[in-house]
C-alpha cells in the first residue's frame, strides 16, 4: 500500500499563514479566497513566508507508513522540507508539480510515476484529476470550500485517513 500526502491545508496552514503574514484576521471562506488569489504572485517565491507557515494538525497523527509528499507549490522543495521538519513531520521525499526533477505537470503524473495507491488532498481539482487519471484512490480532506462535493471519499480528520486506506485496500483484493 503506497501512500502520498498533499501538504497545504492537509498538514500545513497555508491560507491562515497568508493572513498572518499580512497581519489580517483570517476567516475560512466558503467560496474562493480572493485575497489569497490577489496576493499569491507576491508570495509565491517568498522563502520567509513559507518558513513561517504553521501546522494544521499535530504530526503525531502521521503515524502510518507513507512514501512522499506531493504539492503544487512552485518553490524549491527544500524550503518545504525545512518547514515540515521544523514542525516535526516525517522526513519523506517532496515532489512539486512542475518544478522538481521528475518530468510531471500534474499530481496525477507524479502519482502514476510513483505508483501510489492512496492520496489525500483538499483541492477539488486535484481530487478529481487523481481519481480520474490514476488508479490511486484520492480522499478529499473536508473543508468549507469543498463541502458541496458529494463523495464517500471525504475525510473529516487526518486520523481517519489510514483506516480508510486499509478499508479500500481490503475491497480491492
- For 121, other C-beta atoms within 10 Å of its C-beta total 29
Q: Identify which of residues 8 and 33 has a Cβ nearer to Mg ion in the complex.
A: 8
Cβ proximity of 48 and 17 under 8 Å: no
Minimum separation from the CB atom of position 69 to Mg ion (A): 11
The grid cell for 95 is: 515532489
DSSP single-letter state for residue 53: P
Minimum separation from the CB atom of position 171 to Mg ion (A): 26
Judged by DSSP in three states, 26 sits in coil
Minimum separation from the CB atom of position 103 to Mg ion (A): 22
What is the gyration radius of the CA atoms in the chain, in angstroms? 16
Q: Identify which of residues 127 and 162 has a Cβ nearer to Mg ion in the complex.
A: 127
Dihedral pair phi/psi, residue 67, rounded to 5°: -90, -40
Q: What distance in Å separates the CA atoms of residue 79 and residue 50, rounded to the nearest whole number?
A: 7
Q: Which residue is nearest to Mg ion (CB)?
A: 8
Length of the chain: 173
Minimum separation from the CB atom of position 121 to Mg ion (A): 6
Bridge-partner residues for 138, per DSSP? 119
Tell me the window of 95-103, 115-123, 128-136, 154-162 that interacts with Mg ion (CB under 5 A).
115-123
Minimum separation from the CB atom of position 173 to Mg ion (A): 30
Q: Which of 4, 9, 77, 138 binds Mg ion (CB under 5 A)?
A: 9
Q: Which of 15, 33, 67, 122 binds Mg ion (CB under 5 A)?
A: 122
Give the containing element (helix H, strand E) for 155. Answer: strand 154-155
8 is an interface residue for Mg ion by CB under 5 A: yes
33 is an interface residue for Mg ion by CB under 5 A: no
Binders of Mg ion in range 47-106 (CB under 5 A): none
Q: Identify which of residues 1 and 124 has a Cβ nearer to Mg ion in the complex.
A: 124
Give the containing element (helix H, strand E) for 8. Answer: none
Binding footprint of Mg ion, residue count (CB under 5 A): 4
Q: Applying CB under 5 A, which residues contact Mg ion?
A: 6, 8-9, 122
Amino acid at each position: 500500500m503506497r501512500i502520498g500526502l498533499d501538504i497545504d491545508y492537509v498538514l500545513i496552514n497555508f491560507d491562515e499563514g497568508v493572513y498572518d503574514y499580512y497581519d489580517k484576521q483570517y476567516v475560512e471562506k466558503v467560496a474562493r479566497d480572493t485575497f489569497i488569489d490577489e496576493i499569491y504572485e507576491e508570495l509565491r517565491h517568498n522563502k520567509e513566508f513559507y518558513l513561517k507557515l504553521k501546522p494544521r494538525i499535530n504530526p503525531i497523527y502521521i503515524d502510518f507508513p507513507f512514501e512522499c509528499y506531493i504539492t503544487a507549490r512552485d518553490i524549491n522543495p527544500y524550503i518545504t522540507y525545512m518547514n515540515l521538519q521544523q514542525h516535526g513531520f516525517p522526513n519523506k521525499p517532496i515532489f512539486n508539480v512542475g518544478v522538481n526533477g521528475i518530468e510531471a505537470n500534474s499530481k496525477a503524473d507524479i502519482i502514476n510515476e510513483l505508483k501510489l495507491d492512496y492520496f489525500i488532498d483538499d483541492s477539488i481539482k486535484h481530487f478529481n484529476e487523481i481519481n480520474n487519471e490514476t488508479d490511486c484512490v484520492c480522499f478529499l480532506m473536508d473543508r468549507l470550500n469543498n463541502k458541496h462535493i458529494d463523495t464517500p471519499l471525504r475525510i473529516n480528520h487526518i486520523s481517519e485517513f489510514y483506516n480508510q486506506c486499509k478499508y479500500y485496500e481490503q475491497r480491492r483484493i
